[in-house]
Amino acid sequence: MPDLVDDLGTPYRPQAPPRRIVSLVPSLTEAVAVTDAAVLVGATDYCTHPAALDVARVGGSRFPNLDAVQHVAPDLVLGNAEENQLADLERLRAVGIPVWVTAPTTLAEAFGSLRRMLAACGLIRPAGGGHDGDAGDDGGQDGDPAWLDQARRAWSSTYDGSAPRRTAVVPIWRRPWRVLGSGTFGGDMLRRLGIGNAFGDAAERYPVVTVEQLRACGADLVVLPDEPYAFTAADATTDLAGMDVAVVSGRHLFWYGPSLVEARDVLERQLSGG
């Protein structure tokens, strides 16, 4: 295999395609499993898709059991710069386990990132010389899995550069309230559906806000995803009472992988109250 470079610029120089992969990211677990489940030998407790996935469980994404990871003898571990602690990934590298890290913050970056990751896993051919363009490259290649082509087509006509039709505030945690801020994948997904982020210019990616700030941010919609905090409609009956609320699937808003095939339809329906 040619030399490859992950989203953080770390070279990956496999002697042969990896045949034992551990994923510490639910969306990447699904991407690998749907493409070729035979190479996946470990995943986190939160890797819920595909539902019938039968692999060793190695703890959580934020706090994986590194001994359990080493026990299944992977020849590649998949991580994410936001979901995993980089110190844990470096500890795995220190004992000789190669690690591939993704870090997309937009849908376009996600398509390029997924393709490079699948190439690193030996599941598709790398683009010329082993580099699949820059992080924003979402062009397809011959041999890509069907789900990746389908996802590209599903999202190909969503954003025309016009002003958002609505502005939303998107809490991701409660007690304290924490919301989507600047430079987030979820924020870009909503933008492509015509919804702006009221805190999209915040200095932080996930700022903590008060109830008063929530109410005064100018949003005409509150989007409540069901992960990482399991928001339900009941959470809108107190602090958010009187605001227009849509409860949406966190998997379809935040995951990048096969879920993108249906994410547009699912989110559009949920955001419209369907």
**Which fold is adopted by the domain 4-155?**
Rossmann fold (3.40.50)
At 70-111, the pLDDT tens digits run 999 999 999 999 999 999 999 999 999 999 999 999 999 999
| Start-to-end C-alpha separation, the chain | 47
DSSP lists the bridge partners of residue 101 as 79
Cα maximum dimension of the chain: 59
User: If one looks up domain 166-271 in CATH, what number appears?
Assistant: 3.40.50.1980
Q: Which residues contact 132 (CB under 8 A, 6 or more apart)?
A: 112, 115, 116, 119, 126, 141
Average pLDDT over residues 2-23: 93
At 213-248, the pLDDT tens digits run 998 998 999 999 999 999 988 887 778 878 899 999
In this predicted structure, the answer to whether residue 39 has a pLDDT above a threshold of 60 is yes
Q: Which residues contact 23 (CB under 8 A, 6 or more apart)?
A: 29, 32, 40, 42, 43, 44, 47, 77, 78
Residue 187: band (very low, low, confident or very high) from pLDDT cuts 50, 70, 90? very high
How is the chain split into domains, by residue range?
A: 4-155, 166-271
Averaged pLDDT of the chain: 91
The pLDDT value given to residue 128:
59
At 188-204, the pLDDT tens digits run 999 999 999 999 999 99
Domain 4-155 and domain 166-271, same fold? Reply is: yes
